[in-house]
């Protein structure tokens, strides 16, 4: 499949990819959208391990999610990118990502308890926050069990490193 195939539907800066041979390697491959964790009302785009990709196979944060619960996942994933943390094993084992994990949990739980959010968003946010918190808890306990309180200092140091330039706003790239 070439990037310009008529069957390929992609979006870059709100435009569809041109057919007839034009290429658009930075366009979103829409087959990679909403392919993550199944939630009430649909599937997550950013919450989970299968994030949107461009037609050239690179991760992209340019897709504007339809679920509010995906916004904390965008900045969580960007923190992981800053640390070079990848995959489920990174979630389970990389103690440098503890701050990023708990920031995600905090943001999701904030939505879950917000009485102004719709019930579906609240339930989904609660489930996502609980799930990631449960997975991150063992590495957090191990890290905080370090002697002389060094565990907390390490968590905070890596959190600030991971937080550099992070937002939960989808990217719009000008080409």
For residue 39, the cross-strand partners are: 42
For 157, other C-beta atoms within 10 Å of its C-beta total: 12
- Rounded CA separation 159/114 (Å): 25
Average pLDDT over residues 71-92: 94
How far, in whole angstroms, is CA 33 from its chain's centroid?
12
Question: Does the reported pTM lie above 0.75?
Answer: yes
For residue 23, give every residue at least 6 positions away whose Cβ sits within 8 Å of its Cβ, in sequence order, or none: 2, 3, 4
Domain locations in the chain as residue ranges = 66-163
User: Average pLDDT for residues 138-159, to the nearest whole number?
Assistant: 92
Can you give the pLDDT at residue 16?
Answer: 45
Residue 111 contacts residue 121 (beta carbons within 8 Å): yes
């Amino acid at each position: 499949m070439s990037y310009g195939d008529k069957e390929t539907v992609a979006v870059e800066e709100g435009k569809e990819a041109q057919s007839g041979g034009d290429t658009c390697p930075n366009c979103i491959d829409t087959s990679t959208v909403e392919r993550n964790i199944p939630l009430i009302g649909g599937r997550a785009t950013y919450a989970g391990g299968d994030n949107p990709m461009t037609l050239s196979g690179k991760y992209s944060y340019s897709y504007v999610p339809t679920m509010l619960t995906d916004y904390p996942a965008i900045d969580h994933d960007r923190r992981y990118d800053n640390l070079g943390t990848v995959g489920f094993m990174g979630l389970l084992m990389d103690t440098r990502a503890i701050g990023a994990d708990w920031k995600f949990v905090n943001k999701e739980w904030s939505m879950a308890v917000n009485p102004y959010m719709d019930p579906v968003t609240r339930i989904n946010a609660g489930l996502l926050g609980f799930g990631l918190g449960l997975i991150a808890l063992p590495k957090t306990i191990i890290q905080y069990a370090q002697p002389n309180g060094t565990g907390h200092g390490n968590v905070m140091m890596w959190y600030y490193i991971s937080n550099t330039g992070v937002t939960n706003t989808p990217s719009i790239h000008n080409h």
